[in-house]
Amino acid sequence: MLDDCKERARTTDQLVGLTELFFPGHVVTIDAESAKKNWPDRAVAADLIRASRDRLATLEPWEDKAIETALKALATERGVGTSPLFQMIRVAVTGKSVGISVTHTIFRLGKVVTLQNIDSALQWLAQAPPA
């Protein structure tokens, strides 16, 4: 995991920002600018994030490639691009719009933490004032 993060980080502060998510007890905070950029239509974003959550909740085995395949299939089924969907999910899972591969992140966080983070993001979407 550290190797993945080192590829993206140019400074120690950036490295800390990329890795803090993986420490036990870390609470994800949604960055308002990342949300505004990647969730421009909150209803659409909530629907796609909820569908992603449902897909991930039933996914077995929990492997990086299986996560990627499941989410790409969802994007195709819903008629959305893979990149926009992955960015929506990245913000839901990490609170940020930058990081290591979203499928690596999801895999390394594990199913329980990933689903908890998505649930928190869905609550944020429902409660936050419009941008």
Tell me the per-residue pLDDT of 9-64, one tens digit each, with 9 for 90 and over.
Answer: 456 555 455 556 655 677 888 999 999 999 999 999 999 999 999 999 999 999 99
| Phi/psi of residue 11, nearest 5 degrees | -130, 165
Distance CA 99, CA 110 (A): 16
pTM of the model: 0.85
Distance CA 82, CA 72 (A): 6
| Predicted pLDDT of residue 14 | 56
How is residue 42 written in tokens?
Answer: 């909150």
Higher-pLDDT residue of 39 and 6 is: 39
| 87-80-126-93 Cα dihedral, nearest 10 degrees | -30
Query: Is residue 102 within a helix (H) or strand (E), and if so which, with residue range?
Result: helix 102-109
